[in-house]
Amino acid sequence: MDLRLLRYFVAVAEELHFGRAANRLHMSQPPLSRAIRQLEADLGTTLLHRSAAGVSLTPAGATLLTEARNLLEQSEQVRARVNAAASLTVGILADSTDPGIARLADSYRRLHPTVTITIRDADLTDPTCGLRAGLVDIAITRAPFDPTGLHLHELRADPLGAVLRTDDPLATRDRLTLADLADRAWFQFPPGTDALWQSFWNGGQSREGPVVRAVQECIQAVLWNGTIGLAPLGHHLSEELVVVPVTDLPPSPVVAAWPATDTNPLIPAFVQLAATAYRG
């Protein structure tokens, strides 16, 4: 059985007219007639009643119409699924300053040269980097966020510090507590941001402060407006900023997250590679 013939048959069965169907298929009528006869011979049944009055479906033809539509639909899905298995989009959040992700992508490309891997920088609105919206296949992000329907894999946990201007009175301290920062203005995330995540990144409390949508905006908020935020230690954000450890905050985990329903075989391989890359 040939999918081409099924496509032809569906056209004829829908039009109930060889001429119109041929037109729709951008071909002439005689080869179409022949193709349908061929399909009938292949299946060993008559699919259409032909008469000068018109064309009508036999019971076998009616069955084939629905079955063929179904099969053609599924063949398209196969195409889509195979294409999905040939490319991987990874969303990253807040770690755009981290060179690790670039090295990770490179080593993945070396391992799977046939796979197109794309890194997408997400904005802070969505800690799952568009995972639920289907924009990315995997998110590399920082917990916490609502994990419903997601598989998670913790890659690393970073101690957190307060991001301060170098001329801040606290900037010379080698450690801080949340109490030291209680009177400062904190970031505000846009509405719709995961509540868990928002409260954590504000030091576990609801805070007042300017709205930020991207990492660059956070840095600017600290530099220009004297607000304060949290960041993993060891990242060099700017010449004019320091990150001072805050001792009474739990470390911030970096997690890989992907939809529990996603069967893309590239995902486990990527997560494993990410795990070794982040461990080192």
Partner DNA sequence: ATCGCCGATACCCGGTGGGTATCATCGCTG
Partner DNA sequence: CAGCGATGATACCCACCGGGTATCGGCGAT
Least distance in angstroms from the C-beta of 48 to DNA = 8
For residue 202, the partner it binds in a second copy, DNA, none, with Cβ less than 5 to 8 A by kind, is none
Q: How far is the CB of 64 from a second copy (least distance, A)?
A: 5
Q: How many residues bind a second copy (CB under 8 A)?
A: 38
Q: What is the 3-state secondary structure (H, E, C) of the chain?
A: CCHHHHHHHHHHHHHCCHHHHHHHCCCCHHHHHHHHHHHHHHHCCCCEEEECCEEEECHHHHHHHHHHHHHHHHHHHHHHHHHHCCEEEEEECCCCCCCHHHHHHHHHHHHCCCCEEEEEECCCCCCCCCCCCCCCCEEEEECCCCCCCEEEEEEEEECEEEEEECCCCCCCCCCECHHHHCCCCECECCCCCCHHHHHHHCCCCCCCCCECCCHHHHHHHHHHHCCEEEEECCCCCCCCEEEEEECCCCCEEEEEEEECCCCCCHHHHHHHHHHHHHHC
Give least dist CB 182 to a second copy, A.
51
Least gap, CB of 35 to DNA (angstroms): 5
> What's the closest the beta carbon of residue 207 comes to DNA, in angstroms?
59
Site string for DNA, 10-29 (x = CB under 7 A): -------xxx--x---xxxx
At residue 55, φ and ψ (nearest 5 deg) are -105, 140
Return the number of the residue (26 or 279) whose C-beta is nearest DNA. 26
The alpha carbon of 48 is separated from its chain's Cα centroid by a whole number of angstroms, namely 46
Q: Rule CB under 8 A: say whether 216 interacts with a second copy.
A: no
Residue 248 near which of DNA, a second copy, none (CB within 5-8 Å, type-dependent)? none
Q: Indicate the angle between helix axes 3-15 and 59-84, nearest 10 degrees.
A: 130
Q: According to CB under 8 A, which one of 34, 49, 50, 109 is a site residue for a second copy?
A: 49
One residue of 16, 86, 182, 260 binding a second copy per CB under 8 A? 86
Q: How far is the CB of 145 from a second copy (least distance, A)?
A: 27
Q: Report the relative pairing of strands 150-158 and 252-259 from DSSP bridges.
A: antiparallel
Pick the stretch among 47-55, 81-89, 192-200, 261-269 that binds DNA (CB under 7 A): 47-55
Of positions 1, 3, 4, 276, contacts DNA by CB under 7 A: 4
Tokens of 227: 């607000």
Stretch 51-80: interaction string toward DNA, x if CB under 7 A = xxxxx-------------------------
Contacting positions for a second copy (CB under 8 A): 1-4, 43-47, 49, 58-60, 62-64, 67-68, 70-71, 74-75, 78-79, 81-86, 112, 114-115, 263-266, 269
**Site residues (vs DNA, CB under 7 A):** 2, 4, 17-19, 22, 26-31, 33-38, 50-55
